[in-house]
């Protein structure tokens, strides 16, 4: 009887172990909304910025407008973008990936997005295309970030400070 119980416990332990071998769940990704507010404040300006994030119902569909990476690889994201694209090319995107090994791919996707936005503005509103040339794209831990802002330095600092303080 004891042997049977021991075997059952071993099997249960093995099953629990296997179940635990799933994708790691990050618990250190900051609140996208709070982070976006901090970066938006640093961005300043008069451009009315719209907000989209991984909390939205159509999050995956929205995400596809800024990145080509598999949405399942993302933990969270937000996009701040000019509500009237004709008035401004300003845009702030933060993508938090689940597996830090994917952050380089996320960064690359943002660079590709910036290039597409540049081509679009070069065709329709050339005066805003230069803003995309000055886009700041970088990674930090699990975050890939793109900043198109006349105050990109301040916006980046806001990002750095917020993520450092809210680990």
Partner 1 sequence: MNKKTNAFIITALAIICVLAIAGTAVSAFAYMDTRRIMTAMQEQAQEPDEDETREDDVCIGEEYFIRSTTAISDAYKSGDASALDDRQKETLSMASAILGEVIEDGMTPFEKEKAVYEWLTLKLINDNGILTVIPTTGEDRDNPYGVLKYRSAVCVGYATTFRLFMQMMDIDCKVVHDLSLCHSWDLVKLDGDWYHVDCYFDSDIGSYRHFNMNDTLASYDHDWDRSFFPHASGNKYNMALINVSNVGNIYDIPQFVKDCLDEGKTCFSCTFDEGIAREDESTAAAITSAVYNIVSMMGDGKEVQYEWIRNDAVEYVLCWYTYSYNSGTVDLPDETIEKINEALSEAFGDDYVEYDPDYGYNGAVG
Where along the sequence are the contacts to partner 1 (CB under 8 A)? Answer: 3, 6-7, 10-11, 13-15, 17-18, 21, 50, 52, 62, 65-66, 79, 81-86, 91, 116-117, 119-125
What is the distance between the alpha carbons of residues 123 and 129, in angstroms, rounded to a whole number? 9
Provide the phi-psi class of 141: left if phi over 0, else alpha when psi is between -120 and 50, else beta: left
CB of 31 to partner 1, least distance (A): 21
For CA atoms 113, 117, 122, 126, the dihedral sign is negative
C-beta of 124 vs 164, nearer to partner 1: 124
CB of 83 to partner 1, least distance (A): 7
DSSP H or E segment with residue 95: strand 91-97
C-beta of 15 vs 104, nearer to partner 1: 15
CB of 166 to partner 1, least distance (A): 26
* Residue-level length of the chain: 167
Inter-axis angle of helices 152-165 and 32-43, to 10 degrees? Answer: 150
C-beta of 27 vs 58, nearer to partner 1: 58
CB of 154 to partner 1, least distance (A): 21
């Amino acid at each position: 009887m004891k042997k049977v119980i021991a075997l059952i416990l071993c099997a249960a332990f093995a099953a629990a172990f296997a179940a635990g071998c799933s994708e790691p769940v990050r618990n250190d990704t900051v609140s996208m909304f709070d982070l976006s507010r901090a970066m938006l404040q640093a961005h300043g300006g008069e451009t009315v910025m719209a907000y989209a994030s991984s909390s939205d119902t159509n999050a995956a569909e929205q995400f596809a407008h800024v990145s080509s990476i598999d949405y399942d690889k993302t933990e969270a994201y937000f996009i701040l973008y000019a509500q009237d694209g004709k008035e401004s090319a300003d845009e702030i995107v933060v993508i938090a990936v689940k597996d830090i090994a994917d952050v380089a791919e996320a960064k690359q996707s943002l660079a590709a997005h910036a290039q597409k936005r540049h081509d679009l503005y070069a065709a329709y509103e050339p005066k805003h295309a230069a803003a995309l040339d000055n886009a700041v794209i970088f990674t930090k831990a699990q975050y890939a970030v793109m900043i198109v802002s006349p105050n990109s330095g301040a916006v980046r600092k806001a990002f750095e400070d917020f993520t450092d303080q809210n680990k």
